[in-house]
């Protein structure tokens, strides 16, 4: 179990307060000479036992309530097994001439690059390749300037080539969580898929 605010667990020290109150409330019974009456002795013994039981139940309920409040504010949650796996991220960024198309005064490549820089966490390590360049085990800050100055390429990889190249970046271990992100307009690649589908249908 994990906690969203684990620093609040230090508040569990507050559980000593009900314990301290319980100890202060304990009173020593003073023996007083009295007439030897068996009935009064039995009532006194029962009264002491019931008071002790009530105090212990009260202490347990106070501790449970306070602990429940602290744990609730710490917001416990359970993480999936994949959260503890090593993350391997590979990104393909299409910089072919088709990405020169304009949208909102920026080319598709410029928009894709800016979105990538804005949305990818700074601490994330990834590998990135384009149609004519590649960068292994980098962060956004390390290649920010490179991404902003990417040139267009006359070459464009198709989907099978992208998959084969991505596999060369990913490890062979089964314990890693592997991800491939493809950023492209897919104009030529999708045309190739359509043509292949027509050929098979014929």
Q: DSSP states of 74-114 as a string?
A: H-EE---GGGGSEEEEEEEE--BGGGG-EETTEEHHHHHHH
C-alpha 174: how far from its chain's center?
21
Q: For position 128, what pLDDT does the model report?
A: 92
CB 128 within 8 A of CB 138: yes
CB 179 within 8 A of CB 87: yes
Q: Give residue-wise pLDDT tens across range 50-81.
A: 777 787 788 888 888 888 888 888 887 776 65
Q: Where are the chain's structural domains?
A: 2-77, 81-201
67-94 burial by CB neighbour count: b if 16+ within 10 A, else e?
eeebbeebeeeeeeeeeeeeebbbbbbb
Q: How far is the CA of 29 from the CAs of 37, 43, 57, 80, 98, in angstroms? A: 18, 14, 20, 56, 93
Whether the pLDDT of residue 127 is over 80: the answer is yes
Q: For position 92, what pLDDT does the model report?
A: 92
Mean pLDDT in residue range 151-180: 81
What CATH number does domain 81-201 carry, 3.40.50.10490, 3.40.50.410, 3.40.50.2300, 3.30.9.10? 3.40.50.410
How many residues in total does the chain contain? 202
Q: What angle do CA 118, 121, 126 make, to 5 degrees?
A: 105
Q: How far is the CA of 135 from the CAs of 145, 148, 180, 185, in angstroms? A: 13, 14, 14, 21
In this prediction, residue 174 has a pLDDT band, given cuts at 50, 70 and 90, of: low
CB 14 within 8 A of CB 70: yes
Mean pLDDT in residue range 28-52: 60
* 39 or 101, which is more confident: 101
Whether the pLDDT of residue 190 is over 50: the answer is no
Whether the pLDDT of residue 202 is over 70: the answer is no
What average pLDDT does the chain have?
A: 76
Residue position matching structure tokens 């109150």: 21
* 83 or 122, which is more confident: 122
Which of 158, 154, 138 lies closest to 146 in space, CA to CA?
138
Whether the pLDDT of residue 193 is over 50: the answer is no
Q: In percent, how much of the chain has pLDDT > 90?
A: 7
Q: What is the pTM of this model?
A: 0.53
């Amino acid at each position: 179990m994990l906690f969203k605010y684990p620093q609040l667990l230090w508040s569990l020290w507050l559980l000593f307060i009900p314990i301290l109150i319980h100890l202060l409330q304990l009173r020593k019974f003073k023996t007083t000479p009295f007439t030897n009456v068996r009935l009064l002795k039995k009532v006194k013994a029962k009264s002491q036992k019931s008071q002790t039981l009530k105090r212990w139940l009260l202490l347990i309920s106070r501790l449970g309530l306070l602990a429940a409040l602290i744990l609730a504010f710490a917001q416990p949650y359970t993480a999936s097994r994949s959260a503890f796996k090593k993350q391997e991220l590979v990104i393909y960024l299409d910089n072919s001439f088709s990405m020169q198309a304009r949208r909102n005064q920026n080319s598709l490549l410029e928009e894709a690059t800016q979105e990538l820089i804005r949305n990818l966490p700074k601490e994330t390590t990834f590998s990135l390749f384009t149609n004519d360049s590649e960068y292994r085990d980098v962060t956004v800050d390390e290649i920010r300037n490179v991404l902003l100055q990417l040139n267009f390429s006359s070459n464009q990889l198709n989907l099978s080539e992208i998959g084969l190249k991505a596999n060369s970046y990913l490890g062979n271990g089964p314990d890693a969580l592997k991800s491939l992100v493809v950023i492209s307009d897919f104009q030529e690649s999708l045309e190739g898929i359509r043509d292949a589908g027509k050929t098979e249908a014929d």
